[in-house]
C-alpha cells in the first residue's frame, strides 16, 4: 500500500513538473498569479506528503525488520524448545523402559521371595515334625533303657535257687513267673518299636 501511494505521488509530481513549463508559458500569457500560487502550494503539499510517505515507509521497513528479528528469535526459541521437548521425551522413554525393567525384576524378586517363604514354611514344618519324631524317639529310648535296666536287675538278682526252681519239673511255678516276666518285657519292647 505504501508503494502504491509512493508511485501515485511520484506520478503526480512528474505530471506537475512536466506541466510546469506549460503553466509558466501560460502564466506569461496569463497574468493570473493566483493560479501559480495555488500550484506552488500544491507542489509543496505534495513534497510534504512525499516526505511523510518516505518516513512512513522507513518506519514500516524498520518495523518489518524488527518483526523479522522477533520472528527469527521466536523460530530459534521454538527450535530450542523442540529440541528440549525431544530430549525430555527421550528421557521419559528411557525412564519408562527402566521402570518397566525394574518392575519386572521386582515381580521376579517377589516370586522368588514367595517361593523362599513357602520353602521356609515347608522346612519349618519338616523341622517341627523331625523334632517331634526326635522327642518320640528320645522317649522310646528312655523307655527301652528302663526295660533293659529291669532285665539286667532281674538277671543280677537271679540266684542259684531261682535257677533250680526254674527247672523244677513238678509245679513249674518259677518257670511260669519267669515266662510271665519275659512276656511282659517283650510287650514293653514291642510297644516302643518305631511305627507303632
How many angstroms separate the first and last alpha carbons of the chain? 119
Please tell me the distance from the alpha carbon of residue 148 to that of residue 34, in angstroms, as a whole number.
163
Hey, what's the cell of 105? 525384576
Question: Where do the structural domains in the chain lie, given as residue ranges?
Answer: 2-115, 126-191
Integer CA distances (angstroms), 8 to 39, 49, 52, 80, in order: 17, 11, 14, 46
pLDDT per residue rounded down to tens, the chain (196 residues): 555 667 766 767 666 666 556 555 555 556 678 888 888 999 999 999 999 999 999 999 999 999 999 999 999 999 999 999 999 999 999 999 999 999 999 999 999 999 999 999 999 999 999 999 899 888 888 887 887 777 777 766 776 766 666 666 666 666 677 778 778 878 877 777 766 5
Amino acid at each position: 500500500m505504501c508503494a502504491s501511494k509512493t508511485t501515485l505521488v511520484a506520478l503526480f509530481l512528474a505530471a506537475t513538473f512536466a506541466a510546469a513549463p506549460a503553466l509558466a508559458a501560460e502564466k506569461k500569457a496569463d497574468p493570473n498569479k493566483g493560479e501559480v500560487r495555488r500550484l506552488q502550494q500544491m507542489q509543496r503539499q505534495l513534497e510534504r506528503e512525499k516526505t511523510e510517505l518516505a518516513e512512513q515507509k522507513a518506519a514500516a521497513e524498520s518495523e518489518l525488520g524488527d518483526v523479522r528479528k522477533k520472528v527469527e528469535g521466536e523460530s530459534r526459541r521454538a527450535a530450542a524448545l523442540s529440541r528440549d521437548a525431544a530430549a525430555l521425551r527421550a528421557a521419559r522413554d528411557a525412564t519408562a523402559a527402566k521402570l518397566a525393567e525394574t518392575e519386572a525384576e521386582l515381580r521376579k524378586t517377589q516370586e522368588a521371595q514367595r517361593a523362599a517363604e513357602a520353602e521356609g514354611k515347608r522346612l519349618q514344618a519338616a523341622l517341627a515334625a523331625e523334632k517331634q519324631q526326635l522327642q518320640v524317639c528320645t522317649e522310646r529310648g528312655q523307655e527301652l533303657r528302663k526295660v533293659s535296666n529291669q532285665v539286667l536287675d532281674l538277671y543280677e538278682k537271679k540266684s542259684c535257687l531261682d535257677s533250680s526252681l526254674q527247672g523244677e519239673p513238678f509245679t513249674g511255678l518259677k518257670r511260669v513267673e519267669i515266662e510271665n516276666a519275659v512276656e511282659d518285657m517283650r510287650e514293653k519292647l514291642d510297644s516302643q518299636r518305631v511305627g507303632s
